[in-house]
Amino acid sequence: MKKYLAFGILLSAFGVMTVAAQQLLSLDSCRAMALRNNKQLNVSQLKQDVAMNLRRSARTKYLPHVSALGTYQFTSKEISLLNNSQKQSLSNLGNSAAPALQGMGNGLQTGMQQLGGILGNLGLPLDGFEQMAGQMQQTMQQTSTNMVGLLNTEGQKIVDAFRTDTRNIWAGSVIVTQPVFMGGGIVALNRMADINEEMQANAAETSRQAVLYSIDQTYWQVVSLKHKKRLAEGYLELVKKLDRDVQKMIEEGVATRSDGLSVSVKVNEAEMAVQQVDDGLTLSKMLLCQMVGLPMNESVTLADEDAEDLAVVKVEPQPEVESAVVNRPELKMLDNAVELTREATNLLKAANLPQVALMGGYSVSNPNVLNGFEKKFGGYWNVGVLVRVPIWNWGDVAYKVRAAKGATAIANLELEEVREKIELQVNQSAFKVNEANKRLAMAEASIERANENLRTANLGFSEGVITPAIVMEAQTAWLQAQSQKIDAEIAVRLSQTDLKKAMGELGADH
């Protein structure tokens, strides 16, 4: 006896531990977990970050940009400012002048001879004059020879001075560019970046509402299946009790074997229904766990699944189409698309307008030409204005502008179409809420009739005035009424969710 008692205590403790290990999840906690763990929402957040960085990048187009350039170039031949003939002439400048210098010497010698003749006719002594003339002639010849060599040397120096030695060229520069007027292109680009960031935010909100909608659908599906499982188990107990009663009646001879077989078939059907709803409940919980980021085999309990009543609050729908138009992120995205195409048109138009930019910088090179050709780095500052004026492009920009305007027209038409569909969706959702409320009221009324019918049938069966077939019909009607009530309660919940989604207010309080 003590062993049995200890074993029972152990089983009870194990059951308590199992229940404690289960996670209790409410609808709000499921929503929060799904929003944290949904991969598409993470993708949307990353897209928002991308759009934010693109917007920041567009802002930099207003500011001056600084860039540095550096080059090295090796050429097989150097640049020559003198041709080969000029080099040859300059290198032989003295040789070229030699005939002229010789002519000057010959002319001097002839003049001295003429002067000596004149002096001789005058009766002057010629010994000193002839000696002086010989010295002058010798000096002239020496000077002519030296002049030829000097001119050749100086000519070669000129040739060497004009040599560039540009086979190894080093160059570098720092450039500052400040846009002044880009035809409105920078303004349009920044507006497009702002619109893109807003569009990604609306896309993230669309994904967020889709996740909340899916969570609500799955959550209430699990709750519905759990209630139906409890209902199926209750129905199974009813038909089992009826089966036991009929078997006793058969033994007493007041019921036939046909009645017993009919009840046994119902028992089998009830057991199969319990198994089916249990399998569906297991799969639905696995799906819910996957959506909220838990392991699929995690044991979870929903806050509403064990409640005796779902405590449905009926609401009177107030379809406000204008509010839906303002709140729906899908419409906001289409508005963004229209604005984006308009700014794209402005960006294309900017290509046909003049563009002005200020430029400045510092440039260095080796060799440099700031003081002749020098084999060292030399540099200089520079400032200027760059003006670009488009003249003719065969209508390329005009065609692109027309295409962009066509895209804007398409986006406007799509926006109007979606606006009409949303208006229809809001009205349909409101109609479904009203329909679900009526359906629940009818189901509650059916429950009362089914309960009374089952009570009367059981009473009549116990008194022997009603056959088992009639009792089974009453039990089936009771099962259908209970199942319809569960479906109606879930339908009310889901119709309210549909209306909130159509109004763009799903999860607005989160």
Chunked mean pLDDT (size 10), the chain, 510 residues = 38 40 83 90 92 94 93 80 72 64 58 58 57 62 66 71 75 93 92 94 92 93 92 89 85 78 88 93 93 90 81 73 87 93 92 92 87 83 92 90 93 93 91 91 89 88 80 87 90 91 77
Positive or negative CA dihedral for 453, 456, 457, 458?
A: positive
Residue 493 burial (10 A CB sphere; 0-12, 13-18, 19+): buried
Tokens in use for 89?
Answer: 């002439």
CB 447 within 8 A of CB 485: yes
Q: How far is CA 197 from CA 46, 47, 200, 273, 340, in A?
A: 11, 9, 5, 52, 11
Q: What is the pLDDT of residue 370?
A: 81
Q: What is the pLDDT of residue 53?
A: 95
Q: What is the pLDDT of residue 417?
A: 93
Residue 426 burial (10 A CB sphere; 0-12, 13-18, 19+): buried
Closest by CA position to 380, among listed 359, 358, 362, 360: 362
This prediction has a pTM of: 0.75
Q: What is the pLDDT of residue 1?
A: 37
Closest by CA position to 410, among listed 465, 341, 333, 314: 341
Tokens in use for 151?
Answer: 């001119």
The neighbouring-strand residues paired with 174 are: 68, 362
Q: 498: which residues sit within 8 A by CB, 6+ positions away?
A: 429, 432, 433
CB 466 within 8 A of CB 460: yes
CA end-to-end distance (rounded Å), the chain: 56
Residue 400 burial (10 A CB sphere; 0-12, 13-18, 19+): middle
The neighbouring-strand residues paired with 173 are: 69, 363
Q: Give the β-pairing of 378-388 and 168-181.
A: unpaired
| Rounded Cα–Cα distance for residues 24 and 10 (Å) | 24
Q: 175: which residues sit within 8 A by CB, 6+ positions away?
A: 66, 67, 68, 69, 359, 360, 361
